[in-house]
A = this chain, B = another copy of it.
Amino acid sequence: MDIARELNLSKSTVSRVLTGHPNVSKHTKDAVLELAKKLDYQKNMLAISLNSKKTYNIGIIVPEFSSSYFPQVIIGAQEAARQAGYNTVFSQSNESYQTEVANTKVMLANQVDGILISLTKETQNYDHLKIFERKGIPIVFFNRVCSEMSVPKVIVDDYEGAFNAVEYLIKSGRKRIAHLAGPLSLRVSGHRLDGYKAALKKYDIPIDQELIISYDLEISKVKIYVNHLLNLESPPDAIFAVNDPTAIEAIQIIKKRGLKIPQEIAVVGFSNDYASALIAPSLTTVAQPLSEIGRTAIELLIEQINRDVNDWKAVTKVLKTELIIREST
């Protein structure tokens, strides 16, 4: 420690003033503080963390970063973490299981105090996450959740959100409502599909498998499906899309075919992405409380961090969605 030598003090004395301990004479204290400031002295967190086995770092792993969904969630998470004195470290898995596993190792190597994760759409094996449990490092899932692990989770009520959206379409007089669903391996896709079906059922509208298309969220494929739907003998008069990018893409395609939205066909999305309010026609969609998701997840995580491993709780917080009605319906 430079400043100890400079002032002819013991390292422990310097350490004491820097950590705010009492029992240091005002004189030496002032001297240390002054020199520290002069030298732009910053404690070495590596050493502190190594010593204390606590880094105050929280890892966040998300599948992607290009839609506005995850950035928004992260903003909420980062803010909540900061308030609690934690740093956040993120990485994106690019929807690749391999990358997710690799990112996971990096987090481990960097000794994060806990991680927040939203799974890849590929992820089926959870060994890389169970390591955290074994090592006593808490995990919290959000959005893309793992059902076979008993840990805290933050999700939204996808079933209800979808139900409300479809019910609204029905009440607006739509008769043939198609659903562009996501991969059924994703919990959210399944729940949204269920909500869709339940709404139809409630109003005695038969479920037509022809109108339900599940796809892998590869946005370029939306074109194929929408054109297919519009070419049906009895085409839909509404499309409920599993998410906003899908809905936005569908709108572009429908417009290109010269159909009028919403007169001839209505479109509803899910998530209320940034662009949804700006496109023409603006998109009716199911809004999720994005930064609240991030904040809640961080809160659950920090609770776990502060709990003894044996007292870990596996609560699942289900946040509410809100139907935002715009011009596309």
Contact = CB atoms under 8 A, between A and B. Distances in A.
A266 to B, nearest CB: 17
Contact of A279 (B46, B75, B89, B280): B280
A43 B75 CA distance: 30
A110 B50 CA distance: 12
Interface in A47-86: 47, 49-50, 55, 65-66, 68, 71-72, 74-75, 78
Nearest to A135: B40
Contact of A87 (B78, B106, B131, B279): B106
Contacts of A55: 46
Contact of A89 (B50, B89, B111, B134): B89
B279 A40 contact: no
A243 to B, nearest CB: 14
A282 to B, nearest CB: 9
A151 interface: no
A275 interface: yes
Residue among A66, A71, A89, A278 with max Cβ neighbours from chain B (10 Å):
A278
A81 B32 CA distance: 38
A40 B131 contact: yes
